[in-house]
A and B are shown apart, each in its own frame.
Chain A
Amino acid sequence: MKKLLTFSRFKNLAILLVFFIFPLIDRSPYHIDVMVSAGVFIILALGLNVIVGYAGILNLGYAALFACGAYLYAISNIHFHIPFWTGLFISGFGTALFGMLLAFPALRLSGDYLAIVTLGAGEIVRIILNNVDQVTGGPNGLLGIDHPTFFGLRFGVKSGPYYYLIFVMVILLVFFLKRLESSRLGRAWTAMREDELAASSMGVNLMWAKLTAFGIGGFIAGIAGCVFASKQGSISPDSFDFVVSVMVLAMVVLGGLGTIRGAITGALILSLLPEFLRGFEMYRMLFFGLAMILMMLFRPQGIFGEVRYKTRFSSGKKGRFSLTPEARKQ
């Protein structure tokens, strides 16, 4: 019989408990607010991890999916008065569909060419949002998006309820992703990530694997967008520019590609670090950039990433075959 309370389970429970009681102990609204925006990034990082980490597709336009979710909820709420919980479904599934649409170029391309297509798509979405004034409000964005209610409890502008909403969402997502990781689909992704040609000869349907990766990644981004829009009450294209895509990618890579713990930790570090650097004001982003470089130099595989070793000729040590970490194929 399995032991019910192993050390790792105990550790996970302890971490959960800390996050659960955090708003009860630290009553500063500002801190909770920061944690809520960090939470949105955790959801985003978990979603991007599916595309980049599991399936190994470099996506440089993830903010487009985030934007899609946020605008889907905002538009359906403002024009059709659709409540938050229905909006969550609309955002999730709508963005999943949109993600799969974006994946179509992915079926023909690979590697860096695919990355540039996702990047281009991200820019196109942002410019469309900026210019289709009648629907998206142009550069000013959309105002007056409803906050959620839960059995009569109005969420309002305070951060507390959102904190717990995101808390529950992250737990559900982690549960779902853990299952997904070792499912048939998850293993197909891993095979595809390591070697597309080999995977396809072993019977992995590459088209299906790529489409589902974008679909599930899109679904998660859509949910994050919906929560973000409902929390903010107003959205504008500025919140979804290239820097957001890059930041989420940085979170996933920093934590360690393809690991759930990594995505969460990376998102926490990169969204909280600027807050800790607030004392330096002007030099804040300078130190932030420096910190990113240093963290990567010390742990290139990411905080929780695994290094796979392979014997190969290394240019670093002259004329010797040495054990070097293998570069991950994209």
Chain B
Amino acid sequence: MTPLDVFLQQIVNGLTIGMIYALIALGYTIVYGIAQLINFAHGEIFMVGAYFGLLAYTLIQLLPVGSVGFLFILPLIFLFVMTLTALLGVIVERFAYRPLREAPRLAPLITAIGVSFLLQNAVMILFGPADKRFPSLIEIHKLSFHHVTITNLQIMITGFSLILMLVLHTFIKYTRMGKAMRALADDREAACLMGINVNQIISIAFLIGSALAGAGGIMFGMYYNTINFHDGYLAGLKAFSAAVLGGIGNIPGAMVGGVLLGILEGMGAGYISSEWKNVFAFFILILILLFRPHGLLGSRVVKKV
């Protein structure tokens, strides 16, 4: 393998996991942009999504379908999981965040931590504390270009993530609801005076973010083949970093940040050592923030008295 091959291989691996980070990061960024709230339970929703995926897979196996049908069943699993996590996100918002909308800023942070504990332990009780095997769901084929290997799963993850992002972009940019979301992110009080239903839009933000996290959860499971109730914490942390990296509240920023973080991490793992890859990711994050305090794509907010 030439150094270039190694480099390209790290890019491919980093891009795949970066796409998953980006999907989770989108949830952080949408919610932050609209409600100015760091939803610390978001990582757990991602984790729950992975477990819902496992549940869906187990349920489907009970049905009389051969392994042939999995290409058709896969969208079904995604739909099932995304609906459930979206619902979960809306419920969490309704009970843990909405009552605290006018409360001091750190209060929702504490309920978010409470929700994290709740979800983590609920999953641990229901599914057990050990690692769970997650099936790849599709048959893995390896494609090689020179010495760079790409699996069809990696292509699927990247492709599907891109589609989801495109759908989100279209929704935010071209629909009435998306316009309302942007208005709310710009100026809540003015949006309110224009007759926008704040509670409804915030619910929608949670719904979208959680659905994306659920999709990310299944893909994470398919890619790594094991899931654990602890997975939400580190993935959430990194996705949050990715959102900040791109400029929190900024949707293209979250995508760029996620992919960038994934690739940086891949590089760190490939060239330095896998134990240090997290240091690498966080170190780069701090450096970027030092030189661009508002993230890569975030706009500088001018303080007014």
A interface residues, Cβ below 8 angstroms from B? 52, 58, 105, 108-109, 112-113, 115-117, 119-121, 123-124, 127-128, 130-131, 196-198, 242, 246, 249-250, 253-254, 257, 282-283, 285-286, 288-293, 296-297, 300-302, 305, 313-316, 324-325, 327-330
Contact = CB atoms under 8 A, between A and B. Distances in A.
Interface string B27-40: 00000100000100
A289 B107 contact: no
A290 B114 CA distance: 6
Interface string B162-202: 00000000000000000000000000110011000011000
Contacts, number: 155
Contact of A314 (B102, B125, B237): B102
Interface residues of B, number: 55
A52 to B, nearest CB: 8
A289 B192 contact: no
A288 B103 contact: no
A197 B109 contact: no
Given A288-B117, A292-B113, A328-B105, A116 B96 contact: no
Nearest to A293: B114
A121 B278 CA distance: 11
A116 B198 contact: no
Nearest to A301: B104
B289 A116 contact: yes
B244 interface: yes
Contacts of B104: 257, 300-302, 305, 325, 327-328
Nearest to B109: A253
Central interface residue in B105, B106, B119, B248, by most chain A CB within 10 Å: B106
A109 B118 contact: no
Contact of B102 (A120, A127, A297, A316): A316
A52 B110 CA distance: 14
A196 to B, nearest CB: 8
Nearest to B199: A315
A127 B277 CA distance: 10
5 contacts: A113-B293, A119-B237, A246-B113, A249-B106, A289-B113
